[in-house]
Structure 1
Amino acid sequence: MKVLLTGASGFLGSHIAKALASKPDIAVVASLRGAVSVPNVQIVRVADVSAMTDWSDALYGTHLVIHTAARAHVIKDNGVDPLAEYRRVNVDGTLNLARQAAEAGVSRFLFVSSIGVNGNINSTPFTEDDEPNPCGLYAQSKWEAEQGLWEVQRQTGIEVVIIRPPLVYGPNAPGNFGSLVKRVAQGVPLPLGAIYNSRSLVAVDNLVDLIINCIDHPAAANQVFLAGDGQDLSTTELLQGVAKAMDKPSRLFRVPSSWLIFGATFFGKRIVAQKLLGSLQVDISKARNLLGWKPPISVEEGLRRCFESRER
């Protein structure tokens, strides 16, 4: 089986590339922007992902596309309309690739979306059947891409699989998890010792395992799946777990979450506070029941793997 993997130099993409390259029955073609090389993987240089990108060489003979390439951040003060830039890459670029894939005879298109399509806070776990409530421009662009993919599927018959992960963590993870790790490593005291929320995370190894399960599983065709570790943590528990995995003190002190929300709102950081203090849970029973999938590693093991290279 020949698989085209986009975004192979990114955090998630690099882990997928490594996992696929170890499988003798899969030939991997990876699209990259830079000069990075991946062992046992054929590289295709792609300068940009947009409606104008020509994927014909990469798609020749391809059976499956795993699309992880995306625009995750747009600087708002550089004169560019942020939503337009997200759409240029995440919507137009995705749909252009999907249409070309269908024309090239690709049988399945696997799209890594975001739990942000469901929303950014909840009181009961999200499921795949919930009404989407995209939070933020990035999530909005992912939702628009999802809708466009279903239209491509109806028009062409190509199978579509969509996976919406929550916060993904692993070695050298970027984003919010990376910021938390940095604070713990620096020994910065944090007022997060009394946060009683529940948040779903997904270890990168668990997410990669789910993606690989969806490569050729018949029941995955034309489905949406939420990803997760199956074990939710409070922000306090997460920080304590990170500190334990790093063999560092957590240095947490107790401040009521209501005080933190008030302060964050006063300084215009309410959305940031919601990500730290609010609950966001996902129900992964659909993947368990339909695919027979279960996360192969625990949260504790996932956190340990984040820092195991430092122990050597």
Structure 2
Amino acid sequence: MTAPKVLVTGASGFVGEALVFRLLVDKKFSPIAAARGATRLHGLCPVVPFDLTHAKVLPALDNVQVVIHAAARVHVMNEIALDALAEFRKVNVEGTLKLAQCAAASGVKRFIFISSIKVNGENTLLGAPFKADDLPAPADPYGISKYEAEEALKQLGRDMGMEIVIIRPPLVYGPGVKANFLSMLSWLNRGIPLPLGAIQNRRSLVAIGNLVDFIVACIDHPAAANQSFLVSDGEDLSTTQLLLRLSASLGKPARLLPIPEWLLNLAAAALGKRIIAQRICGSLQVDINKNRELLGWTPSINMDKAMRQTAGHYLEKQTK
């Protein structure tokens, strides 16, 4: 029996590539990698070109049962576009909808959209996590574009009879992680003192292995059809706890100065860095009970193991 074909967009990215490697190992599904740039997947599975910024040429979807759409114009800290929302909409809404329309017309059964926790909002009250079916409250252009894409996909699904699954991850980390998480690893490894030793917030994260595992669970689970999900490691940490655990994983002492949060916020406001302070000191928790109750899914990798894997990969790269 031929394994069902699954097209993964963004296959040269952090999440997309990890997902394709997982599918290749499992052998339950036959992955097709749709990638914009160079990828290590050449020779391992079919690889087709796909650039969401130029979605006029779409990948052939004949005999594809499921599309997992991980490609996106991602959130950036220092936006340079004059109309950021228009740029995000062009890629994340219009490009996504074109792909989904093509998928529905080709007979694709299920379209899994990797969205963002930013659709729910920017932060939560301590101990009051976001839930998957909460009223969305996106606040920035990236989050707004992801929400608009979700709504367009739901309507398309209703009109065309294609199942839509939406997954909103928080911060994703793991071996090969980049951006702010990589910066944290670098600071800690170099022993740079950080004024973050007294943060009492709570934030949810998701290891790449847990995110990929959940996506795979959504490929063919009947109960996942037309549902939205949040996903995490099932354990929330303060910024201080996160840095301490990463330091331990690196085998380095954490040099964290116990500066009060109010003073950090005051300094950040004076420097015009309120958003950065919000991310460092604010809470952002997610509730994944729906995943357990509806799909029987729980995280397969505990956070300590995932952090050791992340730190080990980082240290290995430093020696090459």
Instruction: List alignment gaps of at least 5 residues for structure 2.
Output: none
Which residue matches 1:297?
A: 301
The equivalent residue for 1:270 is 274
SS at match of 2:11: coil
* Cα distance in 2, alignment partners of residues 264 and 126 from structure 1: 26
Q: CA deviation at 1:36?
A: 2.0
Give distance in 2, aligned partners of 1:24 and 1:258.
52
Q: How many angstroms apart in 2 are the aligned matches of 1:53 and 1:302?
A: 39
Q: Report the Cα offset of residue 268 of structure 1.
A: 1.2
What secondary structure, in the 3-state scheme, does the structure 2 residue paired with 1:215 have? helix
Amino acid at match of 1:215: I
Shift of 1:81: 2.1
2:83 corresponds to which of 81, 84, 92 = 81
Q: In structure 2, what is the equivalent of residue 91 of structure 1?
A: 93
Conservation of the 8 A alpha-carbon contact between 2:172 and 2:205: yes
For 2:35, the equivalent position in structure 1 comes to: 32
Question: 1:194-213 alignment to 2 at 5 Å?
Answer: 194-213=198-217
Are 1:5 and 2:8 matched, yes or no? Answer: yes
8 A Cα contact 2:121 2:138, kept in partner: yes
Aligned residue for 1:15?
Answer: 18
List structure 1 segments (4+ residues) > 4 angstroms apart after TM superposition: none
Q: Name the SS of the counterpart of 2:229 in structure 1.
A: strand
What letter matches 2:248 in structure 1?
K
Q: Does 1:168 align with 2:153?
A: no
- Please give the alpha-carbon distance, in whole angstroms, between the structure 2 residues aligned to 1:177 and 1:295: 21
CA distance in 1 between counterparts of 2:89 and 2:166 reads: 18
1:106-255 to structure 2, matched below 5 A, reads 106-123=108-125, 124-255=128-259
- Deviations along 1:111-170, one digit per CA (max 9) or x if unpaired, are 000001111111110001211111311111101100111111111010000000011111
TM-score (structure 1 length as normaliser): 0.95
Confirm whether residue 284 of structure 1 aligns to residue 288 of structure 2: yes
- The 1-side partners of 2:150 and 2:26 are apart by 29
Contact 1:50 1:94 in 2 (8 A): no
> Secondary structure at the residue paired with 1:249?
coil
Q: CA deviation at 1:186?
A: 2.0
| Identical columns (%) | 49
Number of corresponding residues: 309
Shift of 1:40: 2.2
Task: Give, in whole Å, the separation in 2 of the partners of 1:284 and 1:73.
Answer: 23
CA distance, structure 1, for counterparts of residue 59 and residue 247 of structure 2? 47
> Is the contact between residue 121 and residue 136 of structure 2 (CA under 8 Å) also seen in structure 1?
yes
TM-score by length of 2: 0.93
| Aligned counterparts of 1:203 and 1:23: Cα–Cα separation in 2 | 19
2:185·2:311 contact (CA, 8 Å) conserved in 1?
A: no
Instruction: Please state how far the C-alpha of 1:23 moved relative to its aligned partner.
Output: 2.3
For 2:133, the aligned partner's letter is D
The aligned counterpart of 2:107 is 105
Contact 2:48 2:59 in 1 (8 A): no
CA contact (8 A) 2:12 2:38 kept: no
Cα deviation for residue 176 of structure 1 reads 2.3
Mapped partners of 2:154, 2:80: distance in 1: 34
For residues 172 and 26 of structure 1, what CA distance do their matches in structure 2 show?
Answer: 24
- Is the Cα–Cα contact under 8 Å of residues 214 and 297 in structure 2 kept in the other structure? yes
Separation in structure 2 between the aligned mates of residue 131 and residue 268 of structure 1, nearest angstrom: 30
Q: Deviations over 1:13-47 (max 9, x none)?
A: 1110110111223111111112323152110012x
State whether residues 9 and 35 of structure 2, in contact with CA within 8 Å, keep that contact through their aligned partners in structure 1: yes
| Matching of residue 260 in structure 1 with residue 244 in structure 2 | no
- CA contact 1:50–1:92 (8 Å) conserved in 2: no
Amino acid of the residue matched to residue 83 of structure 1? L
Q: CA deviation at 1:51?
A: 7.1
CA distance in 2, matches of 1:22, 1:97: 27
Conserved in 1, the CA contact under 8 Å of 2:11 and 2:34? yes
d(CA) in 2 for partners of 1:241 and 1:194?
15
- CA distance in 2 between partners of 1:172 and 1:265 (Å): 32
Give the AA of the match of 2:89: R
Change (3 A) 1:228 1:33: same
1:72 aligns with 2:77: no
Q: What letter is aligned with 1:65? A: V
Runs of at least 5 residues in structure 1 that lack an aligned partner in the other structure: none
